[in-house]
Amino acid sequence: MSDTKAILATAKKTIETEADAIHQLASYLNEEFSSAVECIRHSKGRVIISGIGKSAIIASKIVATLNSTGTPAIFMHAADAIHGDLGTIQNQDVVICISKSGNTPEIKVLVPLIKNGGNKLIGMTGNSESFLANQADFVLNTFVEKEACPNNLAPTSSTTAQLVMGDALAICLLELKGFDSNDFAKYHPGGALGKKLYLRVSDIASNNLIPQVDVDADVKTVIVEISEKMLGITAVLKDNKIVGVVTDGDIRRMLNKHDNISGLTAKDIMSTNPKTVATDVLAVKALELLQDKGISQLLAVEGDNYKGIVHLHNLINEGIL
């Protein structure tokens, strides 16, 4: 029990220490941050982000975030840059160097080379008096009072601050560019996230069988159709237009109500005014409709034409739910 308490106390203290560092970070934002954003925004090149050690790992993540939100970016390791990778930087690129101290040997070698190339340099550092801060065109202050590490050594609060500052840059650029969900979908076509942004009702309905019976079909025909199409539902049509649906629940209610089902037809047991969704609607919107109505299936329609069924299980299988 005592070990559990100690573990939880350490975890809580770590989170609180880093949260305090992030809260303080907001107070460091000034016109230099805004100028750095505008510099990137108006650049005709890419953003090259460099660092060493833990800062290099953070640089890689910021690169990924920028790329996914419409700002072309490339990672360049500071040590590799001074051993042949400096050619990564092109004339119109903006360079961001990340360093907690701003005084590491690699940064001191790299920065003059960047400046000699005429590229704009943004320094992200926790030391406003450092070599990097003095040489940079714009400084992003990521100073932290202390690391979450009890020895105040392992990069924890400082790397979190760097990460958050990178996110702030990316989101500012996203909003200035008017980068919306349609743009986001272009960069995230895979996985559940991508599917939420591009998968439509037509994509799902087209993979299902299309259960349908005539309004005058007998009960046996209705049951067979529901069973064979395996969606727990069938549309009921009259003159090729939807007039209702019969679900598994309607079949159970019929059996509870009638001792003799001979002579019953689809129109006798169907539910009228079924819930429909247009084929061009995003699948995630269909999910919202299913959840709002507390139902499991929707009829997919194109205008007045019945095109199939979207089932809750389809959306689960696609990873949307």
Strand 276-278 and strand 297-302: the pairing is parallel
1-24: burial string, b at 16+ Cβ within 10 Å, e else: eeeeeeeeeeeeebeebbeebeee
The strand pairing partners of 297, in sequence order, are: 311
**Distance, CA of 73 to CA of 49 (rounded, Å):** 7
Q: Does 77 show up as a binding residue in the annotation?
A: yes
Q: Which of 49, 59, 156, 142 is nearest to 100 (CA)?
A: 142
The answer to whether 103 touches 79, Cβ cutoff 8 Å, is no
245-264: burial string, b at 16+ Cβ within 10 Å, e else: bbbeebbeebeeeeeebeeb
Classify residue 157 as left (phi > 0), alpha (psi -120 to 50) or beta: alpha
Instruction: Write out the H or E segment, with its range, that includes residue 124.
Output: strand 120-125
User: Most distant CA pair in the chain: distance in Å?
Assistant: 92
Q: Which residues are annotated as a binding site for Zn(2+)?
A: 77
Q: Which residues are annotated as a binding site?
A: 77
